[in-house]
């Protein structure tokens, strides 16, 4: 087990609170994995899938009221309310511990408490962070085994007195009214109760690697970001890396696993996936920014994943994968909407009901077999495009940081910031439209700075200040860009084909980062000059590029007003530089100056 007194004491205290029948420390071995799987199957938590077609794969259904992250029940519990800032829910640590203790008390009666030591980042790397999650869920234990590195080797690194994040989790009664996802950054602790859903329950992911880590990063001088990491290898074998932050459901996993389109194949590019969701970035000894993916797996959205959108993801989930809330086919395989092949003639839907493709609800709408937020949990090492450097403790050097959102109008296909501070402004004003399927009112714009709105563990005004400050601390900073794959024409159709074709944009981004590539200056930043994007083999109707890159001053003035409205939330805490950026953009839009 462990010689770590504080860890043992904490486990004892939490066991006394939750009252499990037994406490089992996970060692991370293969034999243990099989035992946990057998136990989960026996309890009905997992169903074994077709061993020939999907070897080592399992199926899980969540409670119907527990299918997504619950931002309204997610709190930052700091002593001072101001430290959580205006964009987070806040609770005092006293209230948090008191309220959650009531829900945890006796919640594991009749159950086993699993002690899951885990490392975010390669085990033993000086940049990794260790957590220990206590959980009464076999599903969580098996998912943690894929998404992080778990077991005795982590305890070995922790030694007798190492620092760890205390992560307490119980599914309790899965009661949505008693659900709480609490973060105590000052205590390096996370408490999550009454949910078994990934983002709420796999505490290494959003809770530790983003909310707690962003707090640590601010204090320790690095970044914990909601970003994919990918490498682009050119025919000469040079590999350059970018990170990209897009709000949830904007295609990070697809971009991270991109396959070069036919038209660009002749150039011999290859894409290497380093991570699809989270990046930890530090200044390296060479003065560049280096990125590590702290995770060990992908927790991807299934619907929409197909051989056009993401063939590499499909190949990744062929074995050793846990599928959650997808459609279960009669042959023990799985399917989801906008997936591969035709819908099966019959199956069992995510709610466990018999399903056929023609099934409709009372309003005549087709009933989905898979939940829109159904997921796959798969080991990153199985991805055909996984980078040979994905577990390198130093990470990979970053040439460009890309922000983006889903905007039907306004934002051009790609724009480069004028400098670092302007890049921070591009990140701070990221917004995305809610899509009908996912969020409710279609077209409504939600500001999601750096795609971190739900994940920043402290006051976002201080987070912006940290970004601005880091610019001064990185001797050779990456260049910053903003992309929008989702601009639509007058007819409402997407103007840009997306998917693999996005490599054409990455090519320009990397050229610019190198100081090459042609650009023209606009009020909102540098746009690709005519002909600077390689469009060969892509048959875009005449005028499409002009529409994709159009910057309409009147629209941008409206947008600017919205930036200011959003920034006003932060009152006097907003760094002055961001206010100055709005003034400079206004001046540039009015033609008073061309740039700063
Ligand atoms: C995720 C998310 O699950 O961002 O990665 O919601
Ligand atoms: Mn995410």
pLDDT tens by residue, 536-569:
999 999 999 999 999 999 999 999 999 999 999 9
User: Could you tell me the strand order of the sheet in which 354-355 lies?
Assistant: 334-335, 327-329, 347-348, 354-355
The atom of ligand 1 lying closest to the CA of 301 is: 3
| C-beta of residue 24 within 8 angstroms of C-beta of residue 113 | yes
205 lines ligand 1 (CB under 6 A): no
The atom of ligand 1 lying closest to the CA of 455 is: 4
Residue of the CA atom closest to atom 6 of ligand 1 = 248
Mean pLDDT computed over every residue of the chain? 96
Residue 466 has pLDDT above 50, yes or no: yes
pLDDT at 444: 83
Cα 178 to Cα 176: distance, rounded to the nearest angstrom: 5
In angstroms, what is the span from residue 265 Cα to ligand 1's centroid? 31
199 lines ligand 1 (CB under 6 A): yes
Cα 339 to Cα 418: distance, rounded to the nearest angstrom: 40
Residue showing tokens 């505490």: 203
277 lines ligand 1 (CB under 6 A): yes
- What's the half-sphere exposure (Cβ side, CA atoms, 13 Å) at 296? 20
377 lines ligand 1 (CB under 6 A): no
| C-beta of residue 395 within 8 angstroms of C-beta of residue 235 | no
Cα 333 to Cα 321: distance, rounded to the nearest angstrom: 12
Secondary structure string (H, E, C) spanning 458-514: CCHHHHHHHHHHHHHHCCCCCEEEEECCCCECCCCCECCCCHHHHHHHHHHHHHHHC
pLDDT at 264: 86
Q: Which two structure tokens, joined as six digits, stand for 563? A: 């930036």
Question: Which ligand ends up closest to the CA of 302?
Answer: 1
Question: Which ligand ends up closest to the CA of 375?
Answer: 1
The atom of ligand 1 lying closest to the CA of 451 is: 4
In angstroms, what is the span from residue 44 Cα to ligand 1's centroid? 26
The atom of ligand 1 lying closest to the CA of 69 is: 6
Cα 132 to Cα 113: distance, rounded to the nearest angstrom: 12
Nearest-Å Rg of the Cα atoms of the chain is 24
- Decide if 207 is catalytic: no
- CB-neighbour burial class of residue 5 (10 A; exposed 0-12, middle 13-18, buried 19+): exposed
User: Tens digits of per-residue pLDDT, 354-367?
Assistant: 999 999 999 999 99
Cα 67 to Cα 179: distance, rounded to the nearest angstrom: 13
Q: Band the pLDDT of 434: cuts 50, 70, 90.
A: confident
Give Cα separations from 47 to 57, 332, 379, 569 (angstroms).
9, 9, 19, 47
In angstroms, what is the span from residue 199 Cα to ligand 1's centroid? 7
Q: Band the pLDDT of 441: cuts 50, 70, 90.
A: low
pLDDT at 263: 83
pLDDT at 388: 98
pLDDT at 438: 44
Residue of the CA atom closest to atom 4 of ligand 1 = 248
69 lines ligand 1 (CB under 6 A): yes
Cα 343 to Cα 331: distance, rounded to the nearest angstrom: 13
Question: Mean per-residue pLDDT for 285-300?
Answer: 98
Question: Mean per-residue pLDDT for 489-500?
Answer: 95
3-state secondary structure of 72: helix
Going 141 to 142 to 144 to 145, the CA torsion angle's sign is positive
Give Cα separations from 333 to 51, 190, 310, 328, 347 (angstroms).
9, 35, 19, 6, 10
- What's the half-sphere exposure (Cβ side, CA atoms, 13 Å) at 103? 25
Cα 369 to Cα 156: distance, rounded to the nearest angstrom: 44
Residue showing tokens 């009020």: 523
Cα 493 to Cα 487: distance, rounded to the nearest angstrom: 8
3-state secondary structure of 166: strand
Residue 188 has pLDDT above 90, yes or no: yes
Helix then strand count (H, E) for the chain reads 17, 31
Residue of the CA atom closest to atom 2 of ligand 1 = 248
Give the number of other CB atoms < 10 A from CB of residue 523: 18
Cα 401 to Cα 528: distance, rounded to the nearest angstrom: 17
Rounded to the nearest 5°, which phi and psi values hold at 431?
-145, 155
Question: Mean per-residue pLDDT for 166-181?
Answer: 98
Q: Band the pLDDT of 435: cuts 50, 70, 90.
A: low
């Amino acid at each position: 087990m462990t010689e770590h007194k504080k860890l043992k004491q904490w486990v004892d205290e939490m066991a006394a609170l939750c009252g499990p029948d037994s406490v089992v420390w996970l060692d991370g071995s293969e034999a243990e994995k099989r035992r946990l799987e057998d136990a989960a199957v026996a309890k009905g938590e997992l169903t074994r899938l077709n061993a020939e077609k999907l070897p080592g794969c399992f199926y899980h259904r969540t409670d119907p009221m527990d299918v997504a992250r619950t931002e309204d029940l997610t709190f930052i519990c700091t002593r001072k309310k101001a430290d959580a800032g205006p964009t987070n829910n806040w609770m005092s640590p006293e209230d948090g511990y008191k309220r959650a203790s009531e829900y945890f008390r006796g919640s594991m009666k009749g159950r086993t408490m699993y002690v899951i030591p885990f490392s975010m980042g390669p085990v033993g790397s000086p940049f990794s962070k260790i957590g220990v999650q206590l959980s009464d869920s076999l599903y969580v234990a098996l998912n943690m085994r894929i998404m992080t590195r778990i077991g005795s080797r982590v305890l070995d690194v922790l030694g007798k007195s190492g620092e760890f994040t205390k992560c307490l989790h119980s599914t309790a009664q899965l009661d949505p009214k008693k659900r709480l996802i609490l973060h105590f950054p000052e205590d390096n602790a996370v408490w999550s109760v009454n949910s078994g859903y990934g983002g709420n329950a796999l505490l290494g992911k959003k809770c530790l690697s983003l909310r707690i880590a962003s707090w640590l990063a601010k204090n320790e001088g690095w970044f914990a970001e909601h970003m994919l990491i990918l490498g682009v290898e050119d025919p000469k074998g040079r590999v350059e890396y970018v990170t990209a932050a897009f709000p949830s459901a904007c295609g990070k996993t697809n971009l991270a696993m991109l396959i070069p389109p036919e038209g660009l194949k002749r150039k011999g590019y290859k894409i290497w996936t380093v991570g699809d969701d989270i990046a930890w970035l530090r200044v390296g000894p060479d003065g560049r920014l280096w990125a590590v993916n702290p995770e060990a797996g992908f927790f991807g959205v299934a619907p929409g994943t197909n051989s056009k959108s993401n063939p590499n993801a499909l190949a990744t989930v062929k074995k050793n994968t846990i599928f959650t809330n997808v459609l279960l086919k009669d042959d023990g395989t799985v399917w989801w909407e906008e997936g591969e092949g035709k819908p099966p003639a019959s199956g069992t839907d995510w709610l466990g009901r018999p399903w056929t493709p023609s099934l409709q609800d009372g309003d005549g709408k087709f009933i989905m077999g898979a939940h829109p937020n159904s997921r796959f949990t798969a080991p990153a090492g199985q991805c055909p495009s996984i980078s040979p450097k994905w577990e390198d403790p130093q990470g990979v050097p970053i040439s460009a940081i890309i922000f983006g959102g889903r905007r039907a109008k306004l934002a051009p296909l790609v724009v480069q910031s004028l400098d670092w501070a302007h890049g921070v402004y591009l990140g701070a004003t990221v917004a995305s439209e809610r899509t009908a399927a996912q969020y409710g009112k279609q077209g409504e714009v939600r500001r999601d700075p750096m795609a971190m709105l739900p994940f920043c563990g402290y006051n976002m005004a201080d987070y912006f200040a940290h970004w601005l400050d880091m610019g001064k601390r990185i001797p050779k900073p990456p260049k910053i860009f903003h992309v929008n794959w989702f601009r639509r024409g007058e007819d409402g159709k997407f103007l840009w084909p997306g998917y693999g074709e996005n490599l054409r944009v990455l090519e320009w981004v990397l050229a610019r980062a190198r100081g090459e590539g042609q650009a023209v200056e606009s009020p909102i930043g540098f746009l690709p000059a005519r002909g600077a994007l390689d469009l060969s083999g892509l048959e875009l109707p005449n005028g499409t590029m002009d529409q994709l890159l159009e910057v309409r001053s009147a629209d941008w003035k409206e947008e600017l007003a919205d930036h200011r409205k959003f920034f006003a939330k932060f009152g006097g805490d907003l760094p002055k530089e961001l206010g100055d950026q709005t003034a400079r953009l206004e001046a540039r839009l009015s033609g008073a100056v061309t740039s700063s």
